[in-house]
Amino acid sequence: MRRTIVALGAATLVAACSGNAPKEPVGDDDAPAAATAPTAPAGDAAATPPAPGLSAKVSPLTGKVSGLSTRVTEMGTIIDLPSDALFEYDKAALTPAAEAELRKAAELIRSSPPGAIRIIGHTDSKGDDSYNQTLSEARARTVADWFGQQVGVRQREFQVSGKGETAPIAPNERATGGDDPAGRAKNRRVEVVVPTAAG
């Protein structure tokens, strides 16, 4: 009987101690609470560290990838890819260094609204008009073919054309009549026209 009373008393004591008393935090009242790291809101780009090896930056205001020469017109956002960075002189095959420029342009295409991508080749004024026309078309086709192999870009419609030397963006000659190598270099380009959001 005595064992029953001791067991009953122990059970009562355990029940009383584990009642509905509010749980107090464990720890030293005088010690500062452990600091918790603030969390960034979901989708905050600043909370995601950049991938190793990537150096292009995205502007939060424009969404444009750095390192590209772009301009916005009524046709859309025009990316000017310098031919000297993409092709050897007088050639339409991409150089090994061309991929870095094209990857930046592909990133901008991926983030653009739906619609056809226009690719327009241009040359400077050196050489025969018909030769320059053919070269500008071949270079535009090469760029379109490269985009056509890229994930997130290849499903787009590409409209390819060449304008030869007919649409310069800089003078091919200086005002004094001499050759302008810097101007000619600007004119040797492939334009990638990307749709912009209606606004």
Residue 42 located in a structural domain: no
Give the three-state DSSP class for 24. Answer: coil
| Model confidence pLDDT, tens digit, residues 51-84 | 444 444 443 334 455 678 999 999 899 999 999 9
**What is the pLDDT at residue 120?**
98
Residue 82 located in a structural domain: yes
**What is the pLDDT at residue 24?**
46
Residue 8 located in a structural domain: no
**What is the pLDDT at residue 45?**
42
**What is the pLDDT at residue 154?**
94
**Mean pLDDT rounded to a whole number for the chain:** 78
Radius of gyration of the chain (CA): 33
Ranges under pLDDT 70 in the chain:
1-66, 198-199
Say what the pTM is.
0.66
Beta strands in 88-143 (DSSP E): 117-122
**What is the pLDDT at residue 124?**
94
| Model confidence pLDDT, tens digit, residues 178-190 | 999 999 999 999 9
Residue 55 located in a structural domain: no
**What is the pLDDT at residue 68?**
87
- Specify the CATH number for the domain of residue 194: 3.30.1330.60
**What is the pLDDT at residue 143?**
98
**What is the pLDDT at residue 66?**
62
Residue 106 located in a structural domain: yes
Q: Domain of residue 190: give its range.
A: 70-199
Ordered DSSP codes for the chain: -HHHHHHHHHHHHHHHHTSSPPPPPPS-TTSPPPP----PPTT-GGGSPPPTT----B-TTT-PBTT-EEEEETTEEEEEEEHHHHB-TT--SBPTTHHHHHHHHHHHHHTSPSS-EEEEEE--SSS-HHHHHHHHHHHHHHHHHHHTTSTTTTTS-EEEEE-TTSS-SS-SB-TTSSB-HHHHHHHSEEEEEE-----
- Count structural domains, the chain: 1
